[in-house]
Amino acid sequence: MAIPNRLQNTAKGMLNRARRLGLPVQGAERLGERLEPLAIKHLSRYVIPFVRRSGVHVNELEPGRVVCTMPLKGNVNHIGTMYAGALFTLAEFPGGPLMLATFGMKRFIPIVTALDLEFVKAAKTDVSVELTLTPDEAKRIEAETLAHGQAEFELRGELKDANGEVVARSRALYQMRPRRR
Amino acid sequence: MAIPNRLQNTAKGMLNRARRLGLPVQGAERLGERLEPLAIKHLSRYVIPFVRRSGVHVNELEPGRVVCTMPLKGNVNHIGTMYAGALFTLAEFPGGPLMLATFGMKRFIPIVTALDLEFVKAAKTDVSVELTLTPDEAKRIEAETLAHGQAEFELRGELKDANGEVVARSRALYQMRPRRR
């Protein structure tokens, strides 16, 4: 899970510094809110070195939906197809940006409790995955987490090669918890 | 799966060169057989760049048994514990060296068809895993692959931190096939 705490802290630090300098920060705060999704999209992969090294990329991000791509280059196995661990990272990592974009950065912490991967065929190109969370499911997760201190949910993904063929299927189980104040 | 085809080819190339030069290669061939397990142990992780980048290490390797360790350093997530993808690589990669050490490098190709990971607790130290294959199970896999052209089997692992506590459990499904001549 890539929750850019460091990004958030960096942004907070910049705002605090601006306040100490007596600068008008209200505009900056509003700007920060507008830049947050953009920051998540472009910077979340830098938060976990293992993820950054893989070269995975967030293509599209909005509340309830994320699309990521793992390059074949640098991620081949001994027979030149995509290494299973790169497929795992592609299945796991996007859940972080998706939940940040859906629930915001401040209220909840998602914890991955299991991830099952089925390898369908060898991947000989870059591989992409789209993960979605319906508004109803997002509302249920939010309500249960607030009411009971936790909520369980799953994300299923189809990992597809450049020709649209499924190379792997993933099922990730998560537990959502409130962020400690 | 880390099957060091390149290592094997390098060794073959060296022997062929020695033959062309008129050197006595029988000793080298015997030496090669003795060095093979050592080469697998020390070099298999270099075959897959993704695996090499993770820093995973083969500690012990013999027919039917492998022990590997994933360093925490370089593999932390956003909260400083081991990233799920590093745990996946630790669960998946050792199967390659194990099968090479058990069945040799020339006859079979194992293909991972699924890998399920359960995350039990956050890993705050290096993490190790031991995978084993009993002699009876190895014999069954060998006999079925030779008789039917394929055999299914599974490897289960407990990933443990430096205090011996289980941080994750893995279940990998494999299909063994004869290597094409």
Q: How many CB pairs under 8 A join A and B?
A: 110
- Picking from B50, B53, B82, B179 by the largest number of A CB atoms within 10 A of its own CB, the best residue to mutate is B50
Distance, CA of B73 to CA of A163 (rounded, Å):
37
Is residue A91 situated within a structural domain?
Answer: yes
- Locate the chain A residue with the closest alpha carbon to B7: A78
**pLDDT confidence bin for B30, thresholds 50/70/90:** low
Q: Can you say how many angstroms the Cα of residue B33 is from the centroid of all Cα atoms in its chain?
A: 18
**Chain B neighbors of A6, CB-CB under 8 A:** 78
pLDDT digits (tens, 9 = 90+) for A82-120: 999 999 999 999 999 999 999 987 889 999 999 999 999
CB contact under 8 A, B113 and A93: no
Is residue A139 situated within a structural domain?
Answer: yes
Please name the residue that has the structure tokens 């990521």: A68
CB contact under 8 A, B50 and A75: yes
Are A85 and B88 contacting, i.e. CB atoms less than 8 angstroms apart? yes
Is residue B100 situated within a structural domain?
Answer: yes
How far, in Å, are A29, B46, B63, B110 from residue B7 at the CA level? Answer: 57, 10, 19, 17
CA-nearest of A106, A92, A94 to A62 is: A94
Q: Is A118 on the interface with B (CB under 8 A)?
A: yes
Nearest-CB residue to B84 (from A47, A112, A118):
A112
Is residue B83 situated within a structural domain?
Answer: yes
ipTM, 2 decimals? 0.81
Q: Is A76 on the interface with B (CB under 8 A)?
A: yes
Nearest-CB residue to B112 (from A76, A84, A96):
A84
Is residue B9 situated within a structural domain?
Answer: no
- Locate the chain B residue with the closest alpha carbon to A44: B78
Q: Is A2 on the interface with B (CB under 8 A)?
A: yes
Tokens of B131: 């995978």
Tokens of B121: 């607790």
Is residue B127 situated within a structural domain?
Answer: yes
Are B57 and B45 contacting, i.e. CB atoms less than 8 angstroms apart? yes
Are B169 and B117 contacting, i.e. CB atoms less than 8 angstroms apart? yes
CB contact under 8 A, B88 and A83: no
**pTM, two decimal places:** 0.82
**Structural domain count of chain B:** 1
| Residue B92, beta-bridge partner list | none
Residue A101's CATH number: 3.10.129.10
Which is more confident, B20 or A154? A154
Please name the residue that has the structure tokens 């359960």: B118
pLDDT digits (tens, 9 = 90+) for B42-95: 777 778 999 999 999 999 999 999 999 999 999 999 889 999 999 999 999 999
Nearest-CB residue to B78 (from A2, A75, A119):
A2
> Which domain covers residue B104, as residue numbers?
54-178
Tally Cβ neighbours within 10 Å of residue A62: 12
pLDDT digits (tens, 9 = 90+) for A18-75: 667 665 555 555 555 666 767 777 777 778 999 999 999 999 999 999 999 999 999 9
Tokens of B171: 């279940």
**Chain A neighbors of B51, CB-CB under 8 A:** 83, 85
Is residue B33 situated within a structural domain?
Answer: no
Is residue B97 situated within a structural domain?
Answer: yes
Tokens of B6: 């390149």
How far apart are the CA of B119 and the nearest CA of chain A, in angstroms? 5
Can you list the positions of beta strands (E) in B21-107?
Answer: 57-62, 65-70
